[in-house]
Structure 1
Amino acid sequence: MSRRIALSVAAGVVVLGGAGAFVVAHAGERTPALAHSTARYTAPDGARDGSLVVVADVTASSGVKSVKVLAWPQKSSFAEKGLTAKDMAAAESAVCKPSGQDTVRCTYTVKVTGADAESSPRGAWHVAILATAQDGTTTLDTEAADFTVR
């Protein structure tokens, strides 16, 4: 092998090795991943309260710091202007429990009273989920799950 080819191969290995180290270093900085998001709405019935239960799996290589949940009606200002992470600042937190190596299963449950149901818009609703990893990266899914209020 000529000296020029040997130097080119060595330089290529150094460049590829550096790129590999860059990829490995930044692999931990991926945004959290949401999966299997569901929403189950049960309307109040007589004296019995209803509920909204939202469940989602969240995976983050650095660990999950928080998961916030917000239910919003399809016919709202969020549908017109779009929901942002800033809008989620005051949203309520889900309770998360480990369910895999870097994954947690998060559950959000809220009671729905008869008065709540009466004052809520009828029709389609969406559930937004904001997941924040320990490293500060975030993922916002504005329509992670859907349900209907009748």
Structure 2
Amino acid sequence: MSRRAALSVAAGAVVLAGAGAFAVAYAGDQPPALAHSTARYAAPDGDRSGSLTFTTDVTASPGVKNVKVLAWPEKSSFAKKGLTAQDMAAAEPAVCKPSGEDTVRCTYTVKVTGSDAESSPRGVWHVAVLATAKGGETTLETKAANFTVA
């Protein structure tokens, strides 16, 4: 191989290695991704409380710092003005456990009493999720899952 060709190959390898390092670094800056989100609502029955359980898988390459959850009725001010990350500041946290290399399975469960159910608007409700990665990147999914209060 000529000296010029060898230098070209070496320079190309350096460029490719640099691009690969950039791609890996850039991938770390991606916001968290949600998958397999589900909500299950069980209405109270007699003197037995009901519950709302929400689960989702969250993936973030630097790791997941926290996940906040908020259930909101479709016929509310959030439907008109839109839900923001600031609205989620006071939302309750989900409990997250590792389920893969960069993935956690998060579960949020809340008890629903008879008086809670009576005072809740009927119809479709949405579950909003704010996921924050350890690197500070966030993802807000305002309709990660739905359930119906009858």
Fold equivalence (TM over 0.5): yes
Shift of 1:19: 3.1
For 2:10 and 2:98, the matched residues in 1 are separated by: 45
- Superposed CA RMSD in Å reads 1.9
Q: Within the alignment, does 1:18 sit opposite 2:18 as a pair?
A: yes
> 1: CA distance between counterparts of 2:13 and 2:105?
41
Q: Structure 1: any 5+ residue segments left out of the alignment?
A: none
Distance 2:15 2:81 in 1: 45
Q: Which residue pairs with 1:142 in the alignment?
A: 142
Unaligned runs of 5+ in 2: none
Q: 1:8 to 1:81 in 2, by over 3 A?
A: farther
Question: What does residue 133 of structure 2 align with?
Answer: 133
Residue in 2 aligned with 1:112? 112
Corresponding residue for residue 89 of structure 2: 89
Give % identity: 79
- Counterpart Cα distance in 2 of 1:146 and 1:33: 18
One-letter code of the match for 1:50? G
Q: Is the counterpart of residue 77 in structure 1 residue 85 in structure 2?
A: no
Separation of aligned partners in 1, 2:4 and 2:98 = 54
Superposition deviation, residue 21 in structure 1:
2.5
* Alignment partners' CA distance in 2, 1:126 and 1:57: 17
Map of 1:123 onto structure 2? 123
- Following superposition, the deviation at residue 20 of structure 1 comes to 2.9
Moved beyond 2 Å, runs of 4+? 1-21
The answer to whether residue 45 in structure 2 is matched with residue 65 in structure 1 is no
Amino acid paired to 1:114: G
Q: TM-score, normalised by structure 1?
A: 0.90
Measured in 2, the distance between the counterparts of 1:53 and 1:115 equals 18
Q: In 1, Cα distance between the equivalents of 2:17 and 2:96?
A: 38
2: distance between equivalents of 1:78 and 1:104? Answer: 28
CA distance in 1, matches of 2:118, 2:63: 39
**Once structures 1 and 2 are overlaid, which stretch shifts more, 21-30 or 77-86?**
21-30
Could you list the per-position Cα deviations for residues 93-114 of structure 1 after superposition, in whole angstroms to 9, with x for gaps in the alignment?
A: 0001111111111110000001
Q: Distance in 2 between matches of 1:93 and 1:81?
A: 23
State the Cα distance separating 1:119 from its structure 2 match. 0.7
| 1:44-99 C-alpha deviation (Å, 9 max, x unpaired) | 11101100000011111111110000000001111111111111000000001111
